[in-house]
Amino acid sequence: MAPRNKETSTPASRRLSATVADQLVMSPTRNMSGEPIPAQYLKGRTALERQGALVFQAKQCHNCHALGGAGGERGPDLDRVAVRLTQDQLIRLVIQGGGNMPAYGKNLSPAETTALVAFLETLRPAGQAPARDASRTAEFGARP
């Protein structure tokens, strides 16, 4: 058993730690990555999409991006990202970064990238089609 740290094992220090924790949770400028992904973004999702939501949470995407009006303002709100960007564009942006967004290619495994993009592809209004790559439609002769 590890020796107890006298500074953190006293009742007074535990109360102080709890007070500091309460202030962090109650602060209006708190780190949004600690907030859970709202249930509306998880309901009816596949296991891969839910895993992507966990990656979104763990990698602190909420610090820069908002979902449902909550989260950071440095990057764009992601509620409609799947309408604006195709799957390939999402993958490239996550891996290589762009504009104000840093590259995460070295910080995410291929499985994490796949899951995160699967989650991001669900972020569109109900009934609205996801973004499509026009060159693929023309290449295969499929109708949009």
> Which two tokens mark 79?
């509620």
What is the distance between the alpha carbons of residues 20 and 7, in angstroms, rounded to a whole number?
15
Specify the pLDDT at position 141: 57
Specify the pLDDT at position 137: 62
**Strand, coil or helix: 64:** coil
Helices and strands (H, E) in the chain, number of each type: 7, 2
Looking up residue 93, the CATH number of its domain turns out to be 1.10.760.10
Cβ atoms of 119 and 56 closer than 8 Å: yes
45 within some domain? yes
111 within some domain? yes
131 within some domain? yes
91 within some domain? yes
44 within some domain? yes
Nearest Cα residue to 90 out of 33, 58, 130, 140: 130
**Count of structural domains within the chain:** 1
Domain range enclosing 69: 32-140
Instruction: Name the stretches of the chain with pLDDT < 50.
Output: 1-10, 12-32
23 within some domain? no
Phi-psi region of 71 (alpha: psi -120 to 50; beta: other; left: phi over 0): left
What is the distance between the alpha carbons of residues 14 and 129, in angstroms, rounded to a whole number?
52
